[in-house]
Structure 1
Amino acid sequence: MSQGTQVRTHLCGIRTAWTEAPEAGLAVREVAAAIGAAELSQIVVFFSSDYCVETLNGALTQGFPGVPVAGCTMSGGISPAGGLARGLVLIAFPRAGFRIVSGVLDAIDHHDVARTAASVRALRRTLDGEAAEAGPGGRFALSLIDGLANAEETVVSAIAWALDGIPLVGGSAGDGLDFREAILLHGGAIHRRAAVLLLVETDCPTRIFKSDNFEPTTTKFVVTASDDERRIVYELNAEPAAREYAMAVGLDPEGLSPMSFAAYPLAVRIGGEYFCRSIRRLDPEDGSLSFFCAIDEGVVLTLARPRDIVTATRTELERLDAELGGLDLVIGFDCILRRLDAEHGQVRHGICDLYRRYAVVGFETYGEQYRAMHLNQTFTGIAIGRRPAP
């Protein structure tokens, strides 16, 4: 086993493993050896877009024979050892205490709400058929969605509606900051422009959560020209979007970068609460701004200022730890812009310390899902407590 491969067994029975092995086949062989022979109900894997996905998929089938596998490309990995720039993070759910069903939604860029709802309801019926007597943990749902299909809002709202109260969290698959292609795995097959949904019933206590680290300012922008389907904003306040944004934050429009967008997020107010609508990139040809979320003409965007990201994250994890009587594992979906913000503020080490302390695993995303909403620059996930004594 290479020096970079590590494994952890949690009190709830889940085993997690992570590696920065440079080649897909080697990475899977090492984590499979680390996980060992066990009765597993599901494998969930987040992996670098640098890996050959065909090699990875074949190695997972061989390394975990007979075990359902779901996964996606990541913009970075999260492990108790800290952040991973490349490699693979794997979560192995045991059969004992976890009942899991999953499905895939293809062609989400041509989304059919009725078809999605029917698929989700069918999954619920399958889980009902396998369900044991309800324990204190209950149920939750995990979503993995192509973050480049520009379809999260419609897909997530349809899924949440059909889940009928089962809490949903998840993340949008990405590929670093390349914005070329996101890939998903399910049922031994490779999927693009797709979403994977897992429904989980467990005996362990659980809580879904979301955390952000921004607060609104008094600076407002009205979207006056946009392409809703492509998530492109051409004008803010009837001025070229990039120039108007740059002037408001005191930067040169030509110098705007992902680091700038992380440091000066935009937010929209919904139901009295602010949610981030983060900028993906600048098009220098026409001065437009592409977003990670859908942006309609007429929407009012508010410039936000970051709060201390370490303090905000620690506060949320401490709250969950107290509510659950001790955190055993956190499966987290963290926006890639939060990582850039932490690096810009030179506090990434503080975030990594929290990952270690609270056993956080997951991936860095192009967007986060929480209940019926698609979010940006947010940390969402499922916190799992220790299994109750029999």
Structure 2
Amino acid sequence: MPDMSAGAALPKPERPRAVTALGNAAEIEAQIVAAFGGAAPGLVLVFASDGSLIAPLTGALAARFGTACRVVGCSSAGEFAFAGYDNRGAVAIAFPAAHFEGEAVWLRRLRDHAALDWMATLRAASARVPDRPGRVRFGILLIDGLSKREELVTATVEATLPGVLVLGGSAGDGLRFGRTHLAIDGESCPQSAVLCLMSTDYRIEEVVFDHFTPAGQRMVVTEALPEERLILEINAEPAAEEYARRIGLPVADLGPRAFAENPLLVRIGRRHFVRAILEVTEGGGLRMMSAVDEGVMMTLGRAEDLTGGFEARLAQLAGPAALILGFDCILRRIALEQAGLQETVGRIFHDYNIAGFNTYGEQHGGIHVNQTFVGLAFLQGEDDDAAQL
């Protein structure tokens, strides 16, 4: 395990910051520059539901912040910065160069399974961002959320960078599921992932939370197309029909709301992980947002308290957070909004300085999951002020 206690719990003059920017592209750029211009950032992350903003915005910001700063962005299914969910503009997060240094690299050609190339790229980045006394390394992973390659990418990163805490999210496209966008300093690349390998003197802590427990109704995948993440049969019955029967709905009523409230769970080791459903296909199959295979045993998930457990987990942090970088599944957002909990979520994000984006999937510990909040807390001293703008 990495030493995540590097850096004393003392106030730091420069802290990670986040801002929500609204308006047209020029107005969004101006607001971000105004918010971060005096911060001398070493890394800026940009998330926007409008994917067409990502490449030009990261390029413009890279020109404004200079060569010492990398600007990395991806399209999303919504954003948040110290308030509730939004999708009207962009969220930007700045990590000051005084406390953060690192690299941003492309992992290209996801459909080609180019794992050997990715490993070479990751090893080179690791050599440029070595371990140093008093600091801890971490990785931020952004993956094309329509590539169906998150499991392979995440496992490759975990194997190549042992001991480095890596987490992230799958880039989205609202609820359109058409095309995602990723960019580094204005350069975009389809069918790719980005790994930001960083070093900091902040203490860091991982936050992982989902709100489901097994409901006891076990099912087995009896026919599937793993490469397409497609379940054709469950218990030797058409997948959509069997799933709908189990949750007490007609097939015609299956959609994002039903999927958000009734996910499938898979047990790995001692834990259950969510395997979310993307859509019902024309042939009556279930297209998933994570890997599937024949013979896999699944169970329905039962929703627990959507916000109470989340806030309780945040209250257990080893110290107050200057910022929590959050990756929150779009299906969690749907469930929270349907439950009328937008204000509660906004208060929690405000109280704990949480900023990030809604994803098509989340990555942590070398695995790809769904309907989970995954976050990285940057812990501050007791006397630090919040980093909200």
Among 117, 127, 130, the alignment partner of 2:129 is: 127
Partner Cα separation in structure 2 for residue 53 and residue 209 of structure 1 = 27
SS in 2 for 1:229: helix
Partner Cα separation in structure 2 for residue 32 and residue 245 of structure 1 = 49
Kindly, what percent of the aligned residue pairs are identical? 37
* Per-residue CA distance 1:363-383 (angstroms, 9 max, x = gap): 000000002100101000111
Higher RCO (CA-CA < 8 Å; seq separation 6+): 2
Q: CA RMSD in A?
A: 1.8
Q: Is the 8 A contact 2:110 2:149 kept in 1?
A: yes
Tell me which residue corresponds to 1:85. Answer: 87
Task: Note if 1:368 corresponds to 2:323.
Answer: no
Among 20, 23, 34, the alignment partner of 2:22 is: 20
Partner Cα separation in structure 2 for residue 149 and residue 25 of structure 1 = 30
Task: Note if 1:300 corresponds to 2:297.
Answer: yes
**Residues 64-83 of structure 1: matches in 2 within 5 Å?**
64-66=65-67, 67-83=69-85
Task: Note if 1:106 corresponds to 2:105.
Answer: no
Tell me which residue corresponds to 2:307. Answer: 310
- Residue-pair matches, total: 372
Task: Note if 1:383 corresponds to 2:362.
Answer: no
Partner Cα separation in structure 1 for residue 366 and residue 57 of structure 2 = 32
Among 340, 348, 367, the alignment partner of 2:342 is: 348
SS in 1 for 2:278: strand
Query: Tell me, which stretches of 5 or more residues in structure 2 are unaligned?
Result: 1-11, 384-389
- Aligned-pair CA distance for 1:34: 2.0
- Aligned-pair CA distance for 1:171: 0.3
**Residues 318-337 of structure 1: matches in 2 within 5 Å?**
318-320=315-317, 323=318, 325-337=319-331
Task: Note if 1:47 corresponds to 2:45.
Answer: no
- Corresponding letter in the other structure for 2:372: T
Partner Cα separation in structure 2 for residue 387 and residue 119 of structure 1 = 35
Partner Cα separation in structure 1 for residue 151 and residue 230 of structure 2 = 15
Q: Is the 8 A contact 2:59 2:185 kept in 1?
A: no
Tell me which residue corresponds to 1:29. Answer: 30
Query: Tell me, which stretches of 5 or more residues in structure 1 are unaligned?
Result: 1-9
- Aligned-pair CA distance for 1:217: 1.1
TM-score normalised by the chain length of structure 1? 0.91
Among 117, 131, 152, the alignment partner of 2:119 is: 117
Partner Cα separation in structure 1 for residue 133 and residue 88 of structure 2 = 39
- Aligned-pair CA distance for 1:119: 1.2
Partner Cα separation in structure 1 for residue 33 and residue 304 of structure 2 = 40
- Corresponding letter in the other structure for 1:194: S
Tell me which residue corresponds to 2:284. Answer: 287
- Greater shift in the superposed pair: 174-183 or 65-74: 65-74
Q: Is the 8 A contact 2:14 2:39 kept in 1?
A: no
Partner Cα separation in structure 1 for residue 252 and residue 154 of structure 2 = 35
Q: Is the 8 A contact 2:108 2:118 kept in 1?
A: no
- Aligned-pair CA distance for 1:50: 5.2
Tell me which residue corresponds to 1:212. Answer: 210
Partner Cα separation in structure 2 for residue 44 and residue 198 of structure 1 = 10
- Aligned-pair CA distance for 1:153: 0.2
Tell me which residue corresponds to 1:143. Answer: 141
Tell me which residue corresponds to 2:178. Answer: 180
Tell me which residue corresponds to 1:154. Answer: 152
